[in-house]
Amino acid sequence: MGKWISFLSVALLCHTYGSDLEILSGEEGNQSVEKSEYLEEKNSPIDLEEKNSEISELKEEIADKPESKENKKILVSQNLSKKEENHSSVQQVEKKSKIDFFARGDLLYWIAEGSGFEINFGSGHVTKLVSGEGVQESIVFEKDIDPEFNWDLGYRIFLGSRFVDDIWGVYANFTHFQGKANKNLNNGKWSVRLDQIDLVGNYKGVLNSSLFLETLFGLRLTEIYQKLHGRVVTPILVSGSGTALDTRNFDDKQKFDGIGPLLGLNADLKLGAGFGFYGTLSGSLLYGRYAVTFDDSERVTSPLTPSYTQSTIHKSMRAFDFDLDLAFGFTWRAKLSNDVFLTLLAGLENHQYFNQNRIGSNWGNLSFSGAVFSLKLTF
């Protein structure tokens, strides 16, 4: 703008002096009095003030024009701000539409335990007496015991996703575990295999900045297969005749296939420095089919009347059964990169299946309990 002001000032001065020179040349030879009056008028301070006033007016006119550099800078700045706002809104829309995926692997160190097997792994003896009047009496002593349940390894796999607003999520998991038990006294054995799929949706609620509560809802598909082998030998002391043996063998099998709704709650508490505490309570109502096979035999030796009985019974039934899951433990979360997070988990779990065992001498429950160690990647 300074260049424009200087140019206008010079142009005004040249215009004034050029007109005066024409007057001087046109009146050449006139009186010297006119020349001196002209010079006095030219050098008068009043003329300079008028010129300065004109220059000031021009400055104001230029400054008021919208095409000035300052106005152009303001317009450019406003346009950039609008573009940044539009870009930011586009990024937010893209962010909200993004989905986070995760994969998790669990190492299970569990013990499977069942009830209702007491007679199948028990022991005892019988004493038969004959009174003086010829009446036979039997004294039975029986000890019912459970087998020795063992700890075993299993695994569980998760695949799922969460929306980036961290409110809704879905996942599926598959659990595989095989447990066993034995009793060396009578060569008894029991084994169980659990294969289970959970399809789960969850909604996360924020109670405060450190505590989160998730509602779990979904579908559970369960298959449980059991095998039982028991051998119970009972000595029978016959008064005056000797000792007979009653040997019973149990070779039973059971398969359960069920499906039903799953509901639960999961709480996460942030402790700081990446550490956290979690607790989960859930349950499902399974409707399924039991296929049970009893393949048993009994042999009696002398001095009683020798006998041998073999029986094979197949049963099929449908029923509703309830199972309950409880888990709690600690987590640690770390950022591996801008889009990848690592979570480590260590906890304890218990899973109860009520009225699940139907191959023993009595109906009983089945449980899986123990430790879980997990590694989870979110990306």
What CATH number does the domain containing 126 carry?
2.40.128
Q: What is the pLDDT along the chain (379 residues), one digit of tens a residue?
A: 444 444 444 444 444 444 443 433 444 444 443 444 444 444 444 455 665 566 566 555 555 554 445 555 554 455 545 545 554 444 444 444 478 899 999 999 999 999 888 777 766 767 776 665 666 667 777 777 778 899 999 999 999 998 867 789 999 999 999 999 988 767 789 999 999 999 999 999 988 989 999 999 999 999 999 999 888 888 888 877 888 888 888 899 999 999 999 999 999 999 999 999 999 999 999 999 999 999 999 999 988 889 999 999 999 999 999 999 999 999 999 999 988 999 999 999 999 999 999 987 778 999 999 999 999 999 9
Q: Which of 41, 58, 92 is the last residue of a domain?
A: 92
Helix, strand, coil percentages (3-state) for the chain, rounded to 5, are 20, 60, 20
Of 307, 288, 300, 285, nearest in space to 358 by CA: 288
Does one domain contain both 214 and 332?
A: yes
Task: Specify the number of domains making up the chain.
Answer: 2
User: Domain check: are 126 and 199 in the same one?
Assistant: yes
Pairing of strands 136-143, 123-130: antiparallel
End position of a domain, from candidates 53, 74, 92: 92
Q: Name the token pair of 251.
A: 């070779």
Show the domain range for 336. 99-378
Q: Are residues 164 and 57 in the same domain?
A: no
**Residue whose token pair is 């021009």:** 58
Out of 92, 111, 126, pick the residue that ends a domain. Answer: 92
- Asked whether residue 258 falls in the same domain as residue 352, the answer is yes
215 and 273, same domain (yes or no): yes
292, 254 Cβ separation under 8 angstroms? yes
- pTM assigned to the model: 0.71
Beta bridge partners of 246: 234, 300
Half-sphere exposure (CA, 13 Å, Cβ side) for 208? 5
Co-location of 70 and 17 in the same domain: yes
Q: Are residues 165 and 36 in the same domain?
A: no
Residues 54 and 166 in one domain: no
Q: Which amino acid is at 273?
A: A
The amino acid occupying position 87 is H
Q: Clarify whether residues 82 and 106 are in a common domain.
A: no
Whether residue 84 is found in the same domain as residue 108: no
Considering the domain architecture, whether residues 169 and 29 belong to the same structural domain is answered as no
pLDDT 10s digits, 123-158? 676 777 666 566 666 777 777 777 889 999 999 999
Per-residue pLDDT tens digits for 274-303: 999 999 999 999 999 999 999 999 999 988
- Pairwise CA distance, residues 26 & 35, whole Å: 12
- Are the C-beta atoms of residues 254 and 359 closer than 8 Å to each other? yes
Q: Is 135 found in the same domain as 88? A: no
